[in-house]
Amino acid sequence: MVKQIDYTFPQGFLWGSSTSAPQSEGTIPGDGKGLNNWDYWYSIDPDKFHNHIGPEKAAEFYQNYQEDIKFLKQTGHTVFRTSIQWARLLPQGTGEVNQKAVEFYRDMFRRINAEGVKLMINLYHFDIPFALEEQGGWENKATVKAYEEYAKICFKEFGDLVDTWITFNEPIVPVECGYLYQYHYPCKVDPKAAVQVAYNTQLASALAVKACHEANPDHKISIVLNLTPAYPRSSHPADQKAARIAELFQAKSFLDPSVLGEYPKELVELVKKHDLTPDTTPEELAIMKENTVDFLGVNYYQPLRVAAPQYLANPESPFFPTVYYDHYQMPGRKMNPHRGWEIYERGIYDIAMNLKENYDNIEWILTENGMGVEGEEKFKVDGMIHDDYRIDFIKGHLKELHRAIADGANCQGYLLWTFIDCWSWLNAFKNRYGLVELDLKTAEKTIKKSGHWFKELSDNNGF
């Protein structure tokens, strides 16, 4: 019987998933890997991590990658995105290269290429070598230089196996979580440092774009941004303004310099008003201007619901973006109760139209979207997790993506978070996202119903 396909995607559309090295590889056996910020933080404060599970094992991809890679084809992957651990390749962040790491990544990349799956390799997914963190991390411009060297080493060592690169994953997250809200190490509350970290990261990204093009002119490089659209509570001008400013901080702070080569004027003014202007040089700004990304990676999980702030903060109190907006719980919104995140499929369409209209219709790929679920074992029937909720989640988002493409969006692929269930920062293994189940007790891996469905989706290029 021929299956009816209601939503067909453009020819060559990429289907796959994303993961990150710190969340999948684990650090045992070390094989010369240096400590990163997560290893260190766990060693001094394990209580912060769900069930005291730290990054050392993660999903043990380092030991099992040869077997794990076989699941890629079985779940319909035509593309796979993961990252390189900087501290695995350069244990001290700079200097000597760990040859074991080179061998590991080369072998992994070679095997994935042999499966006919396109690689998309990210240089940085929230993990900085601790040796650099100790010297001020991203607050220090020496880290920018070190990152540039690291990027060049990656292009040299792996450029024959990888032609599609990413400079950073969601760079706003370490800025906010590390320097404003204390969810990531170094757990500071320091708006001035936050702005400098954001700037230094953007500069590092532009330097990596430059180095990539110099090393291999035909390679493509991107940045992955979590472009949560901000929806105002009402049409009241104060709410509208709050939403605009939320987007300035959350999205445009990296989107504009990455794609257009410069910061939005309104953001520059706001930062100046609060005496937070970072240390910049005309040469650095020129590097950003000249080295914009070739395409964009977009992660989308949930929107921002924004209202004008209830009160205006005391001008003496430290600056936070949220001086300008409050989050609010929109009545009746659809939720993923496990992760506590709103599900709003239409967000994808709105992001797509924004990129089309305001960013020269830049080519982009949906690099993360996914549904984290706690206690998935209870959906196990005859040895397989029946995650119909995940299939519905993906379908809902794909319908909006399909509509956006029909309306001219330049989206070239959809990557789910994630491939095999993996470790997740402070939440460890609380919420599962994978197309493939990882049983923590037996280490057995089993394709979920969504994994089989994803294969059909990819084979049919639609559903």
Residues involved in catalysis: 170, 368
Least distance (Å) between residue 313 CB and ligand BG6 = 27
Of 171 and 232, the one with the shorter C-beta distance to ligand BG6 is 171
Q: CA angle, 257 as apex, 255 and 258 as ends, to 5°?
A: 60
Which amino acid is it at 339?
R
- Would you give the DSSP letter of residue 18? E
Q: Would you count residue 421 as binding ligand BG6 (CB under 6 A)?
A: no
Of 417 and 454, the one with the shorter C-beta distance to ligand BG6 is 417
Q: Would you count residue 417 as binding ligand BG6 (CB under 6 A)?
A: yes
Query: Is there a contact between 173 and 184 (Cβ–Cβ < 8 Å)?
Result: yes
Short-list 176, 197, 214, CA closest to 304 = 176
Q: CA angle, 261 as apex, 193 and 221 as ends, to 5°?
A: 95
Query: Is there a contact between 274 and 258 (Cβ–Cβ < 8 Å)?
Result: no
Of 385 and 416, the one with the shorter C-beta distance to ligand BG6 is 416
Stretch in the footprint of ligand BG6 (CB under 6 A) among 58-66, 184-192, 422-430, 440-448: 422-430
Per rule CB under 6 A, count of chain residues that contact ligand BG6 = 14
- Would you give the DSSP letter of residue 379? G
d(CA 408, CA 415): 20
For the segment 222-261, give every residue that binds ligand BG6 (CB under 6 A).
226
Q: Would you count residue 368 as binding ligand BG6 (CB under 6 A)?
A: yes
Q: Would you count residue 20 as binding ligand BG6 (CB under 6 A)?
A: yes
Query: Is there a contact between 16 and 78 (Cβ–Cβ < 8 Å)?
Result: yes
Stretch in the footprint of ligand BG6 (CB under 6 A) among 72-80, 84-92, 103-111, 419-427: 419-427
Q: Would you count residue 24 as binding ligand BG6 (CB under 6 A)?
A: no
Stretch in the footprint of ligand BG6 (CB under 6 A) among 58-66, 104-112, 393-401, 424-432: 424-432
Q: Which of 143, 431, 450, 458 binds ligand BG6 (CB under 6 A)?
A: 431
Please, which contacts does 440-448 make with residues 24 or more away whose CB atoms are closer than 8 Å?
443/60, 445/68, 445/71, 445/420, 446/383, 446/384, 446/385, 447/71, 447/74, 447/75, 447/384, 448/376, 448/384, 448/385, 448/386, 448/387, 448/390
Q: Would you count residue 170 as binding ligand BG6 (CB under 6 A)?
A: yes
Site string for ligand BG6, 322-361 (x = CB under 6 A): -----------------x----------------------
Least distance (Å) between residue 272 CB and ligand BG6 = 30
Q: Would you count residue 183 as binding ligand BG6 (CB under 6 A)?
A: no
**Residue whose beta carbon is closest to ligand BG6:** 424
Question: Which tokens belong to 10?
Answer: 């453009």
Residue 210 CB partners (closer than 8 Å, separation 6+): 287, 290, 291
Q: How many residues does the chain have?
A: 463
Least distance (Å) between residue 403 CB and ligand BG6 = 24
Site string for ligand BG6, 186-215 (x = CB under 6 A): ------------------------------
Footprint on this chain of ligand BG6 (rule: CB under 6 A): 20, 23, 169-170, 226, 299, 339, 368, 372, 417, 424-425, 427, 431
